[in-house]
Amino acid sequence: MNPRAARQPLDARVIAPRSVLSVPGSSPRFLSSAVTSAAAALMIDLEDGVAPASRAAARCTTADALAALASPNRRLWVRINAVDTADFEADLAAVQSMGRALDALVLPKASPAAIDDVAAGTSLPVIALIETPNGVEDAREISVHDAVEAVLFGELDYIAALTASGGLHTSNTDWAQARIVNATAAAGKYSLAGPTAATHNDGLLYAESADQAALGFAGKLCIHPAQVPIVTASFGPTVDMVAWAEQVLTALDRDGHDGAFALDGQMVDAPVIARARQILKGC
């Protein structure tokens, strides 16, 4: 049976987390400290954040930590290893045993075929991690897959792939990011930006978060707890945005406009009103 045909589409009303904190599944200390994190989602990492020899133990450590990490105010994800690795089957079985404690699993090196493999083995929603040139090219097909809740951009792996193809100076990934954002939005889902590798450079984190938010990402992956407050604020509505949205809707309600109208020299029509409502919804 085609796993896509057996699934129901995900609820489009799932709220995108603005900040996602990655926590290595092999570290009881880091898992314990994550209990008090203000991140909107925790991503327990069984992949790159864990040495290959420690992954079996990390699955047990993660399972033991779930009860403490679960919170009604925060989503809980596990990043497994890619489908073509030796750890994939064991990771998927471990995730299945964790049951309702998890909200989604994160799949590295996502491709349409890899998502089919995961969807055949679990009913959990998939956060598709696009981090290869093929993944970027397949962003639309990945995004529309019924098992996929959202797409996460793996910028560091993507840059490594372009470097391997001869792009030694690769640093600008705006095109790939924009392609992912658009493909995911076209599928009615949300996209998350990759992490800022410099963990103690607030200026760079602010700048990258602002650029990624402007491209249309709904949130961003954090690799250090100190990044969470900046990222959360960067992807939420600003004071000026909220004031503008309230002004638009106040004018609409007060004057009973039927169609486009002018406000402070700017045209306001249906798409502008919809954006104002969405901004206030995100407060």
- SS3 of residue 275 by DSSP: helix
Residue 247: band (very low, low, confident or very high) from pLDDT cuts 50, 70, 90: confident
DSSP bridge pairs for 105: 78, 126
Burial 136-157 (b: 16+ CB within 10 A, else e): bebbeebbbbbbbbbbbbbbeb
Q: Is residue 14 part of a domain?
A: no
CA distances (Å), origin 83, targets 99, 133, 171: 20, 17, 28
Mention every residue, 6+ apart, whose C-beta is less than 8 A from residue 24. Answer: 30, 44, 45, 49, 50, 58
More reliable by pLDDT, 187 or 266: 187
Residues 210 and 257 in one domain: no
Q: Does residue 89 sit in the same domain as residue 35?
A: yes
- Quick one: average pLDDT of 196-212? 96
Domain identity same for 85 and 202: yes
The number of folded domains in the chain is: 2
Q: In whole angstroms, give the CA distance from residue 250 to residue 57.
A: 57
For residues 205 and 132, give the distance between their C-alpha atoms in angstroms, rounded to a whole number. Answer: 23
Give the closest residue to 92 by CA, choosing from 103, 73, 106.
106
Interacting residues of 77 by C-beta distance below 8 A, sequence separation 6+ = 20, 41, 42, 43, 44, 102, 103, 104, 105, 106, 127
Residue 236 has which token pair?
């939420």
Give the pLDDT score at 3: 35
pLDDT greater at residue 62 or residue 282: 62
* 102 within domain boundaries: yes
- Summarised one tens digit per residue, pLDDT across range 91-115 is 999 999 998 899 999 999 999 999 9
Q: Which domain holds residue 33?
A: 19-234
pLDDT for residue 243: 81
Say whether both 194 and 258 belong to one domain.
no
Q: Do 44 and 65 belong together in one domain?
A: yes
Query: Are residues 251 and 200 part of one domain?
Result: no
Tell me the per-residue pLDDT of 20-67, one tens digit each, with 9 for 90 and over: 999 999 999 999 999 999 999 999 999 999 999 999 999 999 999 999
Q: Could you identify the residue written with the tokens 């991140």?
A: 39
* 116 and 247 assigned to the same domain: no
Q: What is the DSSP letter of 259?
A: S
* Residue 10 belongs to a domain: no
Do 199 and 264 lie in a common domain? no
- Residue 232's identity, in one-letter code, is T
- Helix then strand count (H, E) for the chain reads 12, 10
Cβ atoms of 105 and 81 closer than 8 Å: no
Q: Which two tokens stand for residue 182?
A: 């658009």
Model pTM greater than 0.75? yes
In a shared domain, residues 111 and 183: yes
2 occurs within a structural domain: no
Whether 158 and 223 map to the same domain: the answer is: yes
Domain membership of residue 31 (yes or no) is yes
What is the average pLDDT score of the chain?
Answer: 91
Instruction: Kindly report the CATH number assigned to the domain that includes residue 147.
Output: 3.20.20.60
- Whether 6 is covered by a domain: the verdict is no
Q: Are residues 74 and 175 in the same domain?
A: yes
The answer to whether residues 230 and 176 belong to one domain is: yes
Within-domain flag for 8:
no
Asked, for residue 3, whether it belongs to a domain, the answer is: no
